[in-house]
Amino acid sequence: MARIDIDGDDLVVTIEGLDRLWALKSRLTIPLANVRGATADPGITKEPKGIRAPGAYLPGVITAGTFHLDGERVFWDVHDPAKAVVIELADERYARLIVEVEDPRAAVALVENAKQRH
């Protein structure tokens, strides 16, 4: 699971627990200027993931790490599709961050409000 916070002009995604091991990341910091938007999307886990490099993928259990799809890098950290949030990025290493959060609606509202204020 991940935690999403706003720190000044940055979006900070902190990977929690053992997911740090599977995702091979503990934290991602993205300037709000490069965040295009966020949506809660439980259906995203049914879409193709691409090539895993590096990370973990056990269908129905976990998708975590960096995946390459259609020339883009996508970061995943999802166990429960019902709690998946997709954060679209521009001019960043990753085109999208797809993470599981405790409260998807609250996370989307946090990102969208911060984006509007920025």
Q: pLDDT averaged over consecutive 10-residue blocks of the chain (118 residues)? A: 96 96 94 97 90 89 94 96 97 97 97 90
Report the alpha-carbon distance of residue 6 to residue 12 in Å, rounded. 6
Specify the CATH number for the domain of residue 71: 2.30.29
H or E stretch at 50: none
pLDDT value at residue 28:
98
pLDDT value at residue 43:
93
Whole domain around residue 46: which residue ranges? 2-117
Global confidence as pTM: 0.94
Count structural domains, the chain. Answer: 1
H or E stretch at 39: strand 35-40
Report the alpha-carbon distance of residue 27 to residue 93 in Å, rounded. 14
